[in-house]
Chain A
Amino acid sequence: MITSARARTLWQIVLIVLILVNVFEVCVSIELRRQAKQYFFGSALPKPSGYSSDGRYVAPPSASCFVLRVSSDYCSFCRLDEDEYLRLVERAKESGCEVVVLAPKLGQLSSESGDKGAVQLWYIDFAFGRSLVPYATPQTILLDRNGRVLWFNEGALDQSGLSRSMKVLANAVR
């Protein structure tokens, strides 16, 4: 026969176990959500470098941050967020960032496309190619001076994405 004191102890043990399982599950959920992102926040990408449309080698630039844009002339969504993207670019340049534009495939981006002050890369090296997932356009990625991912957006930028990116940019260059 279980005494009331033993029953209470058993009850408390069950409660503690359930609380611990809950805490563990919350941690696992947070980790899974973090890993579900295509680029991990805080993980580093190689600094963008490669060859431009005119066959010129572009060495990894030193800048206070980088805006990477994966885009294509044939992507309608890339035109949809042009205003938001150009506002981000303007702010990024004011903050001393380098803007780098890439198309997934050759010939998808003419040298006339988009922002004229941006570095356009047509060919990239293995390390950069391994980290960049070029299957979707547009992608907008914000990196710090060491190439760490601060923020990214897959698909057209909207107002909330723009304000989030502006906040992250302001913190990055503070």
Chain B
Amino acid sequence: MRLLFHSVVMCLLIVSVVRSGLTIKKGLKQQRASRAEADWIPPDSDLIGIDADGMTRRPDLGPDGHLKGGGSLFMFVIHRRDILAEVQFWNHVIASDTDSAAGNRPIQYWGVCDESHECNSYQSKARFSIISHLSPYQMHIVANADRTNDALLYDKALWLRALVSIERDPFLVSEEVRRKKGL
């Protein structure tokens, strides 16, 4: 009788282990899928923000409703804790962009501050527009790109053209932007 009881308990435990194992496997699969969704960066955009002066900032558009000169908009995050170095870095990236300087499909550069208004006072040092606020949708896209150390390159119709990996060398970033802009 005792042996029978132990055998039943053993069988129930084995069934429970297998059942829970399958549930965990399903849960892990769902978790992987939802993580992929969280990192999802949609191709459309909502590119109006608040700039360092607290004013509404829109991309410079031409009469056809596309970005001026058929150019692009490049959006990246600037981090308050390292603001001076990052402003300098992005200024170097922009200085390496000879196409824009020559007026050839110019790129508009937007740096989104990771600490609300805290980067505003650096606007005079930056060769790009410092943006403190965006719509929830656009800000979440920017934050997802920052999580993977990427910047966002939008085409003239304000659709996401490419993610640009932020390398240590500003010249490499500028080259990558130029290459992806021309894709």
Contact = CB atoms under 8 A, between A and B. Distances in A.
Interface of A: 11, 14-15, 18-19, 21-22, 25-26, 28-29, 32-33, 35-36, 49-51, 55, 57, 70, 102-106, 121-130, 132-135
B24 A126 contact: no
Contacts of A128: 136, 139
Contacts of A105: 46, 135-138
Contact of A134 (B13, B136, B142): B136
A129 to B, nearest CB: 3
Given A18-B17, A51-B50, A133-B140, 15 more contacts: A18-B14, A29-B24, A36-B34, A55-B50, A70-B136, A106-B135, A122-B135, A123-B49, A123-B133, A124-B135, A127-B116, A129-B139, A129-B142, A134-B136, A134-B140
Interface of B: 6, 9-10, 13-14, 16-17, 20-21, 23-24, 27-28, 30-31, 34, 38, 46, 48-50, 54-56, 77, 112-116, 132-140, 142-143, 146
B31 A36 contact: yes
B23 A50 contact: no
A135 B49 CA distance: 19
B137 to A, nearest CB: 4
Nearest to B141: A129
- B interface, over-half SS: helix
Contacts of B21: 25
Of A49, A57, A123, which is in contact with the most chain B CB atoms at under 10 Å from its CB?
A123
Contacts of B138: 105, 129
Nearest to A130: B143
A125 B116 CA distance: 5
Given A14-B10, A104-B136, A36 B30 contact: yes
28 contacts: A11-B10, A18-B13, A18-B14, A18-B17, A19-B13, A22-B13, A22-B17, A25-B16, A25-B21, A29-B24, A32-B27, A32-B28, A70-B136, A104-B137, A105-B135, A105-B136, A105-B137, A123-B50, A124-B139, A126-B77, A127-B115, A127-B116, A128-B136, A129-B134, A129-B136, A129-B143, A132-B136, A133-B140
A55 B50 CA distance: 9
A125 B140 contact: no
A49 B56 CA distance: 16
A124 B136 contact: yes
A50 B132 CA distance: 9
Contacts of A57: 54
B23 A29 contact: yes
